[in-house]
């Protein structure tokens, strides 16, 4: 049961894009793959000209263009914080493993349940 005075839960089947650590936005610089050290990674950087999911090891279930079997969403805390959103905003409720985190999630979205 939801309380009307709380924000709605986001659609968890849709990629949160900018708010995911793996999102590559237009104008970002990225260095794909693994590198021996920071200097070598910096020498391989390229400009992102088309926004896309940058997760390299599979297709995410939230990727609208190529749906995968797993959800690889990883919160980008600085972007969430800048937008005034909690770090758990795009997480699935089941990801809140501890009773304390589950309660924070429920309180934020106004969900009433017995934990």
Secondary structure element (H or E) that encloses residue 99, with its range:
helix 99-109
Residue 37 is predicted with a pLDDT of: 96
Cα–Cα distance, 103 to 111 (Å, whole number) = 9
pTM equals 0.80
Give the pair of three-digit tokens for residue 57: 């090891």
- Residue 95, SS3 per DSSP: helix
Specify the higher pLDDT residue, 64 or 89.
89
**pLDDT, tens digit (0-9, with 9 covering 90-100), for 32-85:** 889 999 999 999 999 999 999 999 888 999 988 888 889 999 999 999 999 999
Query: ∠ CA 99-100-104 to the nearest 5 degrees?
Result: 115
> How is residue 23 annotated by DSSP?
E
**Number of neighbouring beta carbons within 10 Å of residue 68:** 14
């Amino acid at each position: 049961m939801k309380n009307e005075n709380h924000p709605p839960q986001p659609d968890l089947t849709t990629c949160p894009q900018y708010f995911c650590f793996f999102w590559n936005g237009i104008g970002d610089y990225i260095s794909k793959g693994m590198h021996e050290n920071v200097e070598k990674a910096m020498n391989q950087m390229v400009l992102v000209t088309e926004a896309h999911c940058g997760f390299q090891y599979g297709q995410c279930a939230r990727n609208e263009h190529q749906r995968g079997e797993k959800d690889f969403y990883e919160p980008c805390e600085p972007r969430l914080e800048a937008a005034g959103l909690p770090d758990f905003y795009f997480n699935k409720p089941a990801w809140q493993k501890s009773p304390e985190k589950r309660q924070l999630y429920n309180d934020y979205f106004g969900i009433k349940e017995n934990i």
